[in-house]
Structure 1
Amino acid sequence: MKDLGPAHYFLGMELALTLSNLSLTETKYVVDLLKHANMHEAKPVTTPTVNGCRLSFSDGDPLSDPSEYRSIVGALQYLTLIRPNIAFAVNQVCQFMHQHTTVHWLAVKRILRYLNGTLTHGLLYSPSTLHLSAYFDADYAGDPYDRRSTGGYCVYLGTNLIS
């Protein structure tokens, strides 16, 4: 076995270790995904979803090639490990993996446009206290179709997001 020194790239993640912090980004992964989806020259947007937009099964026309939608949404799911800011939007489009339409594809494209404007965003871990805190929020039966609730959580160790 050979020591190759500190890791700089692992499973699509760029690792940058300094004396004061550890930075995790997936810039190359995002650029490759944007090129695969032919969205690398798309105009960036400031949010991954349109405020108040609710996706439904009845909106839009069915897509002719389901594999492209599934491939890109699956890649976005992996990206949520380092980019929790897109987790809600990706969760919304994942609900339509088996029956997606042109409206759902537009929602995926909006997420990609958001990523195009935030290529270098990721997680930053800094030395902090060992204080564990967790936050959870949910709506009550917010889904208009099946009355399911949507929830989300985040867990911090000091000031660092860990889950």
Structure 2
Amino acid sequence: MGISEAGTSSGSMYQVFLSFRGPDTRHGFTDFLYHSLTDAGIYVFRDDEELRVGENIDGALQRAIDDSRIYIPIFSRTYTSSHWCLRELRQIVDNTSKSNGNKEILHIFFDVEPDDVKLKTPLYEAAILNLECEKKLSIEQVDSWREALKEVGAIKGWEAKKYNG
């Protein structure tokens, strides 16, 4: 299923949900991607554009993920230093696995390698360990994030560095 096939006729409010670490990509790559997709007529959820003042952020993000058909996680250097990004990714993986092929993940490796996402290097693993200690998170929660990363890492994604020209 391509983005053009992911219409909103099924009741979905969004066609695409962008999951990204703001300080890494918001005002560059993610901004460009968001505007390119919306200019093409695609309904995209991006947290700074879609959340309303006074709205419960956690609930709004969960609804946006549930309502979307295509997920684009943008894996950057500090993606896993955000428990919000990891929670989003876990929900994305869960929604995709329950969708009977109606939802898909099209991820981008932005300034990271696929092995980082697969937790085969220290970059993401160290950030997760740091979050676990800082926030005093349960082993179950952290293990579910690791599992989600490995599941997405097993799917072929786009490596942004291959397209710099």
TM-score by length of 1: 0.30
- Larger-Rg structure: 1
TM-score by length of 2: 0.30
- Greater share of residues in helix: 2
- Greater share of residues in strand: 1
